Amino acid sequence: MGQQATERSHGHYIGGEWTDGHGSETFESENPATGETLAKFRRGTTADVETALEAADSAFEEWRSLSYIDRAEYLWDIYHELRDRHDELGEIVTKECGKELSEGKADVTEAWHMVEWAAGNARHPHGDVVPSEVAGKDAYMRRKPRGVVGCITPWNFPVAIPFWHMAIALVEGNVVVWKPAEQTPWCGQIIAEMMADAGVPEGVFNMIQGFGDAGAAIVDDDRVDTVLFTGSAEVGHGIADAVGGEPGKLAACEMGGKNGIVITEEADLETAVHSAVVSSFKTTGQRCVSSERLIVHTDVYDEFKTRFVDLATDVVVGDPLEEGTFMGPAIEAAHVEKIREHNDLARQEGANVLVDRFELPDEEIPDGHEAGHWVGPFVYEIEYDSELRCLTEECFGPHVALIEYDGGIERALEIHNDTPYGLAGAIISEDYRQLNHFRDRAELGLAYANLPCIGAEVQLPFGGVKKSGNGYPSAREAIEAVTERTAWTMNNSTEIEMAQGLSVDL
């Protein structure tokens, strides 16, 4: 499927074949900047999930028997294709999820970085050699694939995040059943085509287009050994609960955040303003790592506020394919409403609104894009109070609060940590003691100093604490979720000598 939308509806990829599946319903992929239909897809049913799980299950034995290096070969093909088609795919990402073009391309870059990391990992030593307390014994830890890995991925990184999950799962010898986000099925289709073109053996990789019912069917099935999920806290907590009750089954979920940036009295304000604008408004605030709280020391508050408000007033909201656009539209009409509700909630809770570009004026909407899901920055200041819902509930949009604090870094951290989430955050300060204190005490998984809190590199662990996650479905740490560990102890002598001095006299 190339750059053009087609009339026919695209199906699922199951057991090495394209299929329309059991259902008759279809759904459409929409360009959020124009409202135009990009392509039509078959809506997967629980019966399609069943077929995919069967195909995966029967492919497992053969796939796990290959060497790591042989499994990685298939991914190297995909790595080259992602690189060769980088710009073309970046444009498709932008058309389907509305991120501006440099971000659409960065999504593809992140995907090939992840594939490179996972395939390269095949030649990396795995496991530990452990000294035995008995001289005649060898002890070590060996990893084994868990089996069927169910992957459920979000629309905001429609190429990168599927590879966060799947690349490492496959290299480690697992088979995959994947449901792309229903908002970005075109990217799902392209990734499945890549897997097919790379010759990934039948049943090893399966893709079902569909909605929450298909996702739930993956999560609930007994054949699924691990569920990897990246997406909303609401869905992720449901998955964690469903899987948590089943011994032997694992879920690694990475969810939302109410991410904060602390700007201390020692901050370089240029760095602060730059980091805050990028973290709050890039991707239209629709990253799980986007910042929605700026916690600013009273000594620099007024100057920071003036400069931040100026930039928030000026950032270009527009056609994401156009050079010079800073942020594109929201993903869909329902999400615009959700952002509106968060803005209203802040107002009801006493926000002093500094920038309200939520209803983008007609003259700012690019020609031919009137049906797009436009929203602009919403910036407010509010006095900190731990009871405020607007400071604890995630909006997932260009919605950000300025909170003034007085006191030391401890006070900033008290405010920073006062959310149920703990995904990403940053501190802007020239004082290394403040930086180190933030690193050690901020409750989060991804901490940045003098940088925006978006833009993590794939070789670092990506995940959060508290309500932001219960495991790492991505990057380096995902290996833990897709492998079992066998502690192997082998006797090299003819005597049986036990650990802990246990006697074996018969």
**Considering the complex, what minimum distance in angstroms separates the CB of residue 105 from ligand UN1?**
13
Interaction residues for ligand UN1, span 269-298 (CB under 6 A):
287-289
Give Cα 161 distance to the centre of its chain: 5
454 near ligand UN1, judged by CB under 6 A: yes
Three-state SS annotation for 259-328: EEEEECCCCCHHHHHHHHHHHHHHHHHCCCCCEEEEEEEHHHHHHHHHHHHHHHHHCCECCCCCCCCCEC
455 near ligand UN1, judged by CB under 6 A: yes
Q: Residue 148: which H helix or E strand, with range? A: strand 148-152
Diameter over CA atoms, the chain? 91
461 near ligand UN1, judged by CB under 6 A: no
As a whole number of angstroms, the distance between CA 218 and CA 23 comes to 17
Question: Considering 30, 96, 172, 254, which one is annotated as catalytic?
Answer: 254
Question: Considering 187, 288, 390, 395, which one is annotated as catalytic?
Answer: 288
**Considering the complex, what minimum distance in angstroms separates the CB of residue 278 from ligand UN1?**
10
**Considering the complex, what minimum distance in angstroms separates the CB of residue 455 from ligand UN1?**
5
CB nearer ligand UN1, residue 187 or residue 204? 187
Beta partners for 399? 378
Burial pattern 57-96, b for ≥16 Cβ within 10 A else e, equals bebbeebbeeebeebbebbbbbbebbeeebeebbbbbbbb
**Considering the complex, what minimum distance in angstroms separates the CB of residue 468 from ligand UN1?**
11
Q: Which of 39, 96, 98 is nearest to 319 (CA)?
A: 98
**Considering the complex, what minimum distance in angstroms separates the CB of residue 289 from ligand UN1?**
4
43 near ligand UN1, judged by CB under 6 A: no
**Considering the complex, what minimum distance in angstroms separates the CB of residue 202 from ligand UN1?**
31
Helix (H, G, I), strand (E, B) or coil at 368: coil
Q: Mark 94-113 with x for binding to ligand UN1 (rule: CB under 6 A) and - for no binding.
A: ----------------x---
184 near ligand UN1, judged by CB under 6 A: no
As a whole number of angstroms, the distance between CA 50 and CA 343 comes to 42
CB nearer ligand UN1, residue 115 or residue 454? 454
Q: Mark 232-271 with x for binding to ligand UN1 (rule: CB under 6 A) and - for no binding.
A: ----------------------------------------
456 near ligand UN1, judged by CB under 6 A: yes
The yes-or-no answer on residue 254 being catalytic is: yes
Question: Among residues 51, 94, 121, 156, which is the contact residue for ligand UN1, using CB under 6 A?
Answer: 156
As a whole number of angstroms, the distance between CA 258 and CA 350 comes to 19
H-type alpha helices, 152-288: 160-171, 185-197, 212-220, 233-244, 269-281
What are the C-alpha distances in Å from 286 to residues 30, 56, 500? 17, 33, 54
CB nearer ligand UN1, residue 156 or residue 275? 156
187 near ligand UN1, judged by CB under 6 A: no
By annotation, the residues acting in catalysis are 254, 288
**Site residues (vs ligand UN1, CB under 6 A):** 110, 156-157, 287-289, 454-456
